[in-house]
Structure 1
Amino acid sequence: MKKQLTHLIKFSLIITFVFTFLFTPLHEASAFERVPTAGVAINGEMVDGINPIKLEGEMYLPIIYLSKILSYNDIRFESPTKTYELTDGSTSVRLTMGGSRARRGDDFINIDPPRWIDETGYVTLDAASALFNTYIYFKPENGSIQIEKPASKYEVQSGDTLWRIAQAHHTTVNALKAANDLGSNVIYKGQLLNIPPREETKEIEPIKEKKPVDDRNTAPPGDVRSAIIEEAKKYIGAGYEFGATYAQAPSVFDCSLYIQYVFGKHDIALPRTSREQAGVGEAVDINNLQPGDLLFFTTPSMYSDGRVGHNGIYMGNGDMIHASSSRGVHIAENFMDISYWRDNYLFSKRIID
């Protein structure tokens, strides 16, 4: 009888815990304090302001405002699961309130669980750093939020391993250990690691991926290629905005929205971001390009993890048409003769075949 009573008590405690976990609201208003508006500086230049909060001794930043400051302007929110999906046109970041794992592109990363407070999502400075490939810290001398972009350092999160960090930054464990003079694979939460130099970080997985293209255009491939190039030229002069939304097209694009829009006009459905677009179709050597092939590049001024950061459409004769942050939609003639594109070129993919 005593043993049955013990089992009954244990069962009751489990039921109480599960019920509490499932039905307790995420709202935590009573636990936080507001912090005076803080200036936000990117690489030492003050660009905006933000309203942090403090919770359990940690400083948190509102996700939506931080995303916009970092040019992740395409923001989507799934209310039933309290999940945000944010994109800057290159990479999508996906995080759920209360979850300790988030997705950045195709990589899963560990973060401090985001909090849902006053109908808004908040993240710690460490979590924000990991999500956006930045290094974010508070500067008490002037009460500002400092953002190093792209990050040269990474703060180890709970659950991290060197292998997982290497995967997320598109490098190797050996390169990480060398950059930090590590004699073993042991790391600890809060430890600051140097990210290996640019030449040792490069995203190469997409070239191996061969996801099918949703192509409903029944015309001969040669005709489709010609039509795509003619379509692309219609938007020369259109403006540029990181994370531009479909509603802004065709007057404003980012690089991947431009490509998605142009191909969509000819019944070829491509994913939204340049990283996702890099995963479709077949790899093609740069010496065998045809008009309509997609070209992929890194963007070292924005990302230190060597990720796909930009893409364009090959036109033929060595030319590329694309939406760039500096000039909007334009043609880069003989793009491989331009040092910036030559130095940051990754690979090309064929999706019209």
Structure 2
Amino acid sequence: MKKTLLLIVSPVLLLVLLFVFVPQHFASSTAHTTSEAAFAPKVKPLKDVATLPEANTEVYASLIDYAMSLRGTPYVWAGETPDGFDCSGFITHVYGKYDVALPHSSRMQAEEGINVPLEEARPGDLLIFTGTNPDVREPGHVGIVITAPEEDTVSFVHASSNGGVKVSQVEGTRYEIRFLEARRVL
């Protein structure tokens, strides 16, 4: 009988002690309805858009002038001198004249600088395209913007395997479907 009484009284005594000694805010029904604001981060979120530096128009103009002076230079696979360029070698050479070291690879150049929307591209930015097969959506060609989009089309200078260093347009050409992104490296 003592065991039965102890088995009945123990749980009751435990409940009474818990009720008396547990703080009321834990026992209230609102304790489990915390608002999402309680878990909000205490830091400001990052903006969705990159902060783009102001254009140094003198440097851009000089870079474009130099790149344009190389028009007519023949295409040479793996070339990066005025004797002959491939597309990424042309970029490496032109930017190198302005102390901007870029790798001699369109795939690696596509990782340099910051991504900018084509509508915000400005002269001096890089345009990254697929290789000749637009279905393979990987960097395979690169050029330098020479006219901004507000002029209805984006023109660029590049070393093409079909014609060497020349000027082409994005819109209305095969380059439009090959376009991947614009990169700002200056």
Q: TM tier, shorter chain? A: 0.5 to 0.7
**What are the Cα deviations for residues 252-289 of structure 1, in whole angstroms up to 9, with x where unaligned?**
00000001101111111111111111101010000111
Which blocks of at least 5 consecutive residues in structure 2 are unaligned? 1-49
Trace 1:52-201 onto structure 2 (pairs within 5 A): none
1:309 and 2:140 matched: yes
- The equivalent residue for 1:238 is 73
Return the match for 1:344 from 166, 178, 184: 178
SS of 1:269's equivalent? coil
CA spacing shift, 1:330–1:221, aligned 2, 3 Å: same
Q: Secondary structure at the match of 2:162?
A: coil
Match of 1:274? Answer: 106
Q: Which AA in structure 1 matches 2:60? A: R
Tell me, yes or no, if the aligned pair for 1:300 and 1:306 is still in contact at 8 Å.
no
Unmatched tracts of structure 1, length 5 or more:
1-209, 211-219
Give me the whole-angstrom Cα distance separating, in 2, the residues matched to 1:300 and 1:261: 22
Task: State how 1:30-69 maps to structure 2 within 5 Å.
Answer: none
Following superposition, the deviation at residue 304 of structure 1 comes to 6.5
Tell me the distance in 2 between the aligned counterparts of 1:300 and 1:255: 12
Instruction: Give the 3-state SS of the residue equivalent to 2:157 in structure 1.
Output: strand
Would you say the 8 A contact 2:75–2:160 is kept in 1?
Answer: yes
Higher helix share: 2
Over 3 Å counting, the alpha-carbon distance change for 1:289 and 1:304 in structure 2 is closer
Larger RCO, structures 1/2 (Cα 8 Å, 6+ apart): 2
Aligned residue identity for 2:111? G
Pick the structure with greater CA Rg. 2
Who is 1:321 aligned against? 157
8 Å contact 2:127–2:145 — kept in the other structure?
yes
Question: Which residue number corresponds to residue 125 of structure 2?
Answer: 293
2:171 alignment partner, SS class: helix
Superposition TM-score, scaled by structure 2 size: 0.64
Amino acid at match of 1:348: A
Deviations 1:159-196 (A, max 9, x none): xxxxxxxxxxxxxxxxxxxxxxxxxxxxxxxxxxxxxx
1:295 partner SS: strand
On the 8 A contact 1:239/1:252 being kept in 2, the answer is yes
Equivalents in 2 of 1:271, 1:260: separation in Å?
6
Task: Check conservation: 2:74, 2:83, Cα contact below 8 A.
Answer: yes
Q: Identity of counterpart residues, as a percentage?
A: 34
Q: Kindly indicate whether the alpha-carbon contact (under 8 Å) linking 2:130 and 2:136 is maintained by their aligned counterparts in 1.
A: no
Secondary structure of 1:320's match?
Answer: strand
Aligned-residue offset at 1:294: 0.2
Show the counterpart of 1:86. none
Following TM superposition, where does structure 1 have runs of at least 4 consecutive aligned residues deviating by more than 3 angstroms? none
Q: Counterparts in 2 of 1:202-241, with a 5 A limit?
A: 221-241=56-76
* 1:256 and 1:273 in contact (8 A); partners too: yes
Q: Secondary structure at the match of 1:279?
A: coil
1:300 is displaced (CA, Å) by 4.0
How far residue 306 of structure 1 moved from its aligned partner, in angstroms, is 2.6
Q: Could you tell me whether the CA contact under 8 Å between 2:137 and 2:180 is conserved in 1?
A: no
Q: Deviations over 1:293-345 (max 9, x none)?
A: 000111244x864320000000014211000000100111x32221x101111
What is the CA–CA distance in structure 1 between the aligned matches of 2:69 and 2:176, rounded to whole Å? 26
Taking the aligned partners of 1:289 and 1:322, their CA distance within structure 2 comes to 16
Offset of residue 242 of structure 1: 2.2
Q: Higher strand share goes to which structure?
A: 1
1:124 aligns to what? none
